[in-house]
């Protein structure tokens, strides 16, 4: 306990009744929870089996268990129940679910399983000829389960699908992740004797990240704790950023605490960074009053840059990162670029891929990076398609690339036709492109392909011939632009994607591919082969998720950054309509967006740089942007306006 500050000690030793621990960013809440568990076991002589700790991630639960094991015996630590809400409910249902008409050997369906089942149920109910829009139905059902509600009469079709889904799940003896919680609550409310059994076992309950609980999680905690009343909730209302997935900040704002303890000493960030965070968040009306205090000294003033265009912003940020790497000897993994919307990452990825920088005594092309909280640019289907076209232009023997796009957009070449010719090319040990070239010249009548399939191959070979000629005679970007128009790729995307937003996003990615080639052409002796090589090298780094051990720059959304920290942080795209987001303009929405920026600011430990653009491409058009209104809430004396040039 001597290692804890005064408020941390109070939080760790106040064990009876309803306790609210308001743990500000970087204030050591995990340390407090671990000491609290150890105090219950060693100081209060509470049986470890009577302690329940609920978290939102397996990683958090395991970290807590490991740290508890360093303070008490391993046997005692393993007897404490530390798990996620879902794992805890799974454990209960494995023993008790027979009471609800399921068997104990139920199957847990994942997201893909549920999509298929919802589609099956919906199609049985739906008699129309048009294709069903499944996304709104799936979203509604998940939202209702999180709220512990059922569909109203105002949504008759969703109600029918919901009821049909319940029937099907019982018939298949299957549950989904949302049902783990809803059925546990149903079990407790239907069978009081079952609830009492678990109430008597778990007499001391702790919930981490309480600001992120949804109504069904809130109900579960209330039921379990109502007999003995020892419920300790830990969290920070200023970091409640998940309303879009059902979390309700009111749970922590209105918690009926017998004792409230504030952890305001921050062990992560410098004073200037915390001054910015405090200044922004104090503008929220609905919050517990608290002020983070730095333990790490005053630190540097914050740098802020207002770029003419988004590409100027990208180039300036990368240049400043290279300077910081040189000045402070930062590794790439110690820096992060954070943004509100995933599509901002695209411009950074393309420029990072092409940046030339000094590594020791050598000059190298491409800054290593990894993308979190969304698909990387080169992982997206439309980008993969275009890269496949470029790959077969550069290397006609690239069979994987050829198979990807030979019938996309559709040319009448069926899977059966492709299967026939790929078997033939393996037997003859010929490149697939060579076989298709012969088929187009009617040289293999023994294959007995359909006339439609043969014509599709002929059409593709005509296209391929045109591609090779175009890439030899025109610039790379002009050739790709010609190809996109030639295959009518825009129409293919618009036919495939139903939502306007999805169509626009995919089409913007296509335009970004062309722009990437335009940028690359400015290099000395640009070749298609070199462009593809550098692109694929970066794709390999993107594909490997969650690898902080490797020295790679981190790109992620504000949401994905929660719980992480970096010595140097760049917050980019700080413009109105992006933060606060255009779709979050209600009073509640603005407050959550402000909390989101607060979370982003408090990820920084030593260096915090803010940037925005006066013009940005949106929906294919260059539009003027205003700085985020939140920036005007930061005191001017801690800001240093810079050009980063």
Residues annotated as catalytic (active site), given as ranges:
29-30, 208-209, 239, 603
CA–CA distance from 246 to each of 145, 242, 313, 558, 561 (Å)? 10, 7, 34, 18, 19
Q: How far apart are CA 278 and CA 428, in angstroms?
A: 71
Q: Annotated binding residue at 412? A: no
Beta-carbon contacts of residue 202 (< 8 Å; ≥ 6 apart): 50, 51, 52, 81, 224
- With tokens 């209302």, the residue in question is 237
Q: How far apart are CA 534 and CA 529, in angstroms?
A: 9
Angle between helices 156-172 and 111-125 (to 10 degrees): 120
Q: How far apart are CA 92 and CA 97, in angstroms?
A: 8
Cβ-based neighbour number of residue 101 at 10 Å: 8
- With tokens 């039921």, the residue in question is 223
Q: What is the DSSP letter of 205?
A: E
Q: Annotated binding residue at 541? A: no
Burial of 334 (0-12, 13-18, 19+ CB in 10 A): buried
CB-CB contact of 322 with 609 (8 Å)? no
Which three-class secondary structure state does DSSP give residue 488?
A: coil
Q: Annotated binding residue at 235? A: no
Q: How far apart are CA 207 and CA 205, in angstroms?
A: 7
Q: How far apart are CA 318 and CA 323, in angstroms?
A: 9
Q: How far apart are CA 42 and CA 353, in angstroms?
A: 54
Q: Annotated binding residue at 25? A: yes
Cα torsion through 42, 47, 48, 52, rounded to 10: -120
Structure-token pair, residue 501 = 């937003």
Q: How far apart are CA 30 and CA 62, in angstroms?
A: 12
Q: Annotated binding residue at 23? A: yes
User: Please, what's the b/e burial string for 174-209 (b: 16 or more CB within 10 A of its CB; e: otherwise)?
Assistant: bbbbbbbbbbbbebbeeeeebbeebbeebbbbbbbb
Phi, psi of 173 (to 5 degrees): 50, 50
Q: How far apart are CA 620 and CA 629, in angstroms?
A: 25
Please state whether the peptide bond connecting residue 580 to the residue before it is cis, i.e. omega within 30 degrees of 0.
Answer: yes
Structure-token pair, residue 270 = 């410098």
Beta-carbon contacts of residue 358 (< 8 Å; ≥ 6 apart): 364
Cβ-based neighbour number of residue 361 at 10 Å: 5
Q: Annotated binding residue at 26? A: yes
Cβ-based neighbour number of residue 159 at 10 Å: 16
Q: How far apart are CA 531 and CA 514, in angstroms?
A: 12
**Binding site as annotated, residues for ATP:** 23-30
**Binding site as annotated, residues:** 23-30
């Amino acid at each position: 306990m001597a290692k804890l500050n005064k408020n941390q000690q109070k939080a760790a030793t106040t064990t009876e009744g309803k306790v609210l621990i308001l743990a500000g960013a970087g204030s050591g809440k995990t340390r407090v929870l671990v000491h609290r568990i150890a105090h219950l076991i060693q100081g209060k002589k509470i049986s470890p089996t009577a302690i329940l700790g609920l978290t939102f991630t397996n990683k958090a639960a395991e970290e807590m268990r490991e740290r508890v094991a360093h303070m008490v015996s391993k046997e005692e630590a393993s007897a404490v129940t530390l798990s996620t809400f879902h794992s805890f409910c799974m454990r209960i249902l494995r023993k008790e679910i027979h009471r609800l008409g399921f068997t104990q050997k139920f199957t847990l369906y994942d997201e893909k399983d549920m999509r298929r089942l919802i589609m099956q149920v919906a199609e049985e109910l739906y008699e129309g000829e048009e294709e069903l829009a499944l996304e709104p139905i799936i979203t509604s059902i998940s939202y209702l389960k999180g709220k512990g509600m059922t569909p109203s009469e105002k949504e008759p079709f969703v109600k029918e699908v919901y009821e049909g889904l319940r029937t099907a799940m019982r018939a298949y003896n299957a549950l989904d992740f949302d049902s783990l919680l809803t059925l546990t609550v149903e079990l407790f409310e239907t069978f009081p004797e079952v609830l009492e059994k678990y109430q008597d076992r778990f007499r001391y309950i702790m919930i981490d990240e309480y600001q992120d609980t949804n109504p069904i999680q809130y109900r579960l905690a209330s039921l379990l704790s109502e007999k003995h009343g020892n419920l300790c909730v830990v969290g920070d209302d200023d970091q409640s950023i998940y309303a879009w997935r059902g979390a309700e900040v009111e749970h922590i704002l209105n918690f009926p605490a017998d004792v409230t303890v504030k952890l305001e000493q921050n062990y992560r960030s410098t004073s200037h960074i915390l001054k910015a965070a405090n200044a922004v968040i104090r503008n929220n009306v609905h919050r517990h009053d608290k002020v983070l205090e730095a333990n790490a000294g005053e630190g540097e003033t914050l740098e802020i840059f207002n770029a003419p265009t988004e590409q100027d912003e990208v180039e300036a940020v990368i240049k400043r990162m290279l300077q910081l790497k040189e000045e402070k000897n930062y590794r790439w993994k110690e820096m992060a670029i954070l943004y509100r919307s995933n599509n901002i990452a695209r411009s950074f990825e393309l420029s990072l891929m092409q940046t030339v920088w000094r590594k020791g005594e050598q000059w190298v092309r491409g800054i290593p990076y990894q993308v979190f909280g969304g698909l990387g640019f080169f992982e997206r289907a439309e980008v993969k398609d275009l890269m496949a076209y470029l790959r077969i232009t550069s290397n006609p023997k690239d069979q994987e690339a050829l198979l990807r796009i030979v019938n996309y957009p559709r040319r009448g070449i069926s899977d059966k036709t492709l299967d026939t010719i790929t078997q033939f090319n393996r037997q003859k040990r010929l490149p697939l492109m060579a076989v298709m070239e012969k088929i187009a010249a009617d040289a293999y009548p023994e294959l007995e392909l359909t006339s439609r399939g043969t014509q599709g191959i002929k059409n593709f070979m005509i296209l391929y011939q045109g591609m090779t000629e175009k890439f030899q005679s025109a610039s790379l970007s002009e050739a790709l632009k010609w190809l996109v128009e030639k295959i009518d790729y825009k129409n293919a995307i618009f036919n495939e994607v139903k939502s306007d937003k999805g169509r626009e996003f995919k089409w913007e990615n296509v335009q970004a591919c062309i722009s990437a080639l335009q940028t690359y052409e400015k290099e000395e002796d640009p070749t298609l082969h070199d462009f593809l090589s550098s692109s694929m090298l970066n794709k390999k780094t993107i594909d490997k998720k969650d690898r902080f051990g490797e020295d790679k720059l981190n790109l992620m959304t504000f949401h994905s950054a929660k719980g992480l920290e970096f010595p140097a942080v760049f917050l980019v795209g700080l413009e109105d309509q992006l933060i606060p987001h255009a779709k979050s303009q209600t009073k509640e929405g603005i407050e959550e967006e402000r909390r989101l920026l607060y979370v982003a600011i408090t990820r920084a430990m030593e260096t915090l740089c803010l940037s925005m653009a006066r013009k940005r491409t949106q929906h294919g058009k260059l539009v003027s942007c205003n700085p985020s209104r939140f920036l005007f809430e930061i005191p001017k004396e801690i800001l240093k306006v810079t050009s980063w040039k």
